Amino acid sequence: MARSHGLEIFDVQLRREPIGMVLRVVIDRPDTGGVEAIEDSVGIEDCQRVSQDLSAILDVEDEFGQNELGDKYTLEVSSPGLDRPLRHEADYRRFAGRLAKVVTREPIARQSAFAGRIAGVADGAVLLEEGRKTHRVPLDKIKRAHLDVEF
């Protein structure tokens, strides 16, 4: 269904929250292999279209296990956001030139938190430029990372 709108599923969560069960679907534009501009991000209209279509499908089909969802649940459709998580090597290539924050599982040169502009990926490491210094952060040492919002 997301593909029919030129989108892809980035994440799906089914969680019990204070308001009840919440089915959270995060949509994104497919990676085109180039550097992505902010203008290429998912918009409110995209979320509305997917939400309406997905809601109709969930109302009609038991494909997603209505027994697990119960009779009442809240459907949320959103984008990964401006501060989207970075999960794979392709994400760092896709968002080259953008600011990011990275936290490692263990210190690298006595440092476990890095911030800088993504300069690319080389030899299994993310290159982050921070001023005149370039940090080489091995992909397999990254605990979590996300884009940093620029104004």
Torsion of CA 102, 103, 105, 107, to 10 degrees: 100
More confident residue, 134 or 72: 134
Chain-wide mean pLDDT for the chain?
88
pLDDT in tens, 38-86: 567 899 999 999 999 998 888 776 555 555 566 688 999 999 998 999 9
**0.85 surpassed by pTM:** no
Q: For the chain, where are the E strands, in sequence order?
A: 8-17, 20-28, 74-78, 99-108, 111-122, 125-130, 133-138, 142-147
The pLDDT value recorded for residue 70 is 61
More confident residue, 58 or 115: 115
> How would residue 108 be classed by pLDDT, with cut points 50, 70 and 90?
very high
The pLDDT value recorded for residue 36 is 59
Amino acid at 17: E
Interior/surface letters 17-44, b for 16+ CB within 10 angstroms, e for the rest: eeeebbbebbbbbeeeeeebeeeeebee
Percent pLDDT > 90 in the chain is 68
User: How far is Cα 47 from Cα 49, in angstroms, rounded to an integer?
Assistant: 6
The pLDDT value recorded for residue 64 is 52
Identify the structural domains of the chain with CATH numbers, from first to last.
3-78 (3.30.300.70), 89-147 (2.30.30.180)
More confident residue, 122 or 57: 122
| Mean pLDDT along residues 6-27 | 92
| Mean pLDDT along residues 18-40 | 80
The pLDDT value recorded for residue 38 is 57
The pLDDT value recorded for residue 1 is 86
Query: How do beta strands 99-108 and 111-122 pair?
Result: antiparallel
